[in-house]
Amino acid sequence: MDVQKNIKEIESQVDEAVKDVESSKSLYDIKMKFLGKSGAISSLMKNMKDVPPEERPTLGKLLNSLREWTEQKFSALEQKLREKELKKKIAAERVDVTMPAKAFPSGSHHPNTLIKDELVSIFSGMGFEVFEGPEIENDYYNFTALNTPADHPARDTQDTFYLSDSLLLRTQTSAGQIRVMENKKPPIKILSPGKVYRSDDDATHSPMFSQMEGLVVDKGITLCDLKGMLDEFARKIFGEDVKTRLRPSYFPFTEPSVEVDVSCFECGGKGCRLCKGTGWIEVLGAGMVNRRVLEGCGIDPDVYTGFAFGMGIERIAMLKYGINNMKLLFEGDVRFLRQFK
């Protein structure tokens, strides 16, 4: 009988086809060849209409069981293949948690940033707040309000970049003192870091550099308070044994004014190349806030007194890290910068 022969034939074809199948994808293709719409088994079923009616029940049963047998065979195999594939996938995607992690090169802080952060941390420990003023300043804040009117000789010492008659690039963070005192009643205790600009350029000067300003105004502030605070600063930045010394100086906005030296932390004061044989190194300018400056900001100098100080951050960095040329701080050469981890 034809159909029965066909059934046997298809059975062995199915067995043959699945023998070497390796992936669920090729299994699917094979499955379609037999069970798909125009697959071998489906075609046989379609042909049932040509079979004499009396044979249909028997043949129908045979065909149905062929289809079931085939379906079962495929689904059992499919499950096996999927399990195998999943195992393979898991093995391939396995992460070895004991493997050393990839190291990404990390940058480092610029020496200026290191010093600035250190200074901010030292002074905020003493109760200072940070105020940052603008780099483009009025002539008024940078000079006039700091007791340096238009014809004052001290203007010549600061080689100013003017942007217009009244606007300039600030030459000193002292400009921030005025902005603070105009807006805040004493007690005032601020720290003002930032970039300043002067037309000056050699191994120890750069047209752009950074300063850190400090200002304290309150009742009963004296030069002793300034000296005590500077001692603390010098010990923290340069080392426990370092001492400070005040020398008379002149700034229009402070009276009296002082230059502050620290004892040489390299030779301990005996005299060496760093301190040029003197045992002392100049680190900053300071003084008691001039009465006229307080008055100009609406603060009564008979009630309040204050001190101010200003230092160059690059200068501190160069001293502390033994950097001999300021240009190194602005060139961005990673071979230099990498040394400050």
Interface positions with ligand PHE (CB under 6 A)? 172, 174, 213, 251, 254, 285-287, 308-310
Give the span between the Cα atoms of 191 and 135, in whole angstroms.
16
Give every strand in the sheet of 280-289, ordered side by side: 129-130, 188-197, 208-218, 305-312, 280-289, 254-263, 244-251
Q: Which is nearer to ligand PHE, 238 or 309 (CB)?
A: 309
**φ/ψ of residue 281, rounded to 5:** -130, 130
Min dist CB 240 to ligand PHE, Å, is: 26
Q: Which is nearer to ligand PHE, 74 or 141 (CB)?
A: 141
Sign of the torsion formed by the C-alpha atoms of 323, 325, 330 and 335: negative
Min dist CB 286 to ligand PHE, Å, is: 5
Q: Which is nearer to ligand PHE, 27 or 283 (CB)?
A: 283
Min dist CB 188 to ligand PHE, Å, is: 14
Min dist CB 198 to ligand PHE, Å, is: 9
Q: Which is nearer to ligand PHE, 27 or 186 (CB)?
A: 186
**Cα 132-138-144 angle, rounded to 5 deg:** 105
Q: Which is nearer to ligand PHE, 44 or 283 (CB)?
A: 283
Query: Phi/psi class of residue 39: alpha, beta or left (left: φ > 0; alpha: ψ in -120 to 50)?
Result: beta
Q: Which is nearer to ligand PHE, 34 or 123 (CB)?
A: 123
DSSP per-residue letters across 80-146 = HHHHHHHHHHHHHT---TTSPPPPPP-----HHHHHHHHHHHHHHHTT-EE----SEEEHHHHTGGG
Min dist CB 205 to ligand PHE, Å, is: 12
Question: By beta-carbon distance, which residue lies closest to ligand PHE?
Answer: 310
Min dist CB 180 to ligand PHE, Å, is: 13
Q: What pairing do the DSSP bridges indicate for beta strands 244-251 and 254-263?
A: antiparallel
Q: Which is nearer to ligand PHE, 128 or 309 (CB)?
A: 309
Min dist CB 285 to ligand PHE, Å, is: 3
Task: Map residue 270 onto helix, strand or coil.
Answer: coil
- With beta carbons less than 8 A apart as the criterion, state whether 161 and 197 touch: yes
Task: Map residue 278 onto helix, strand or coil.
Answer: coil
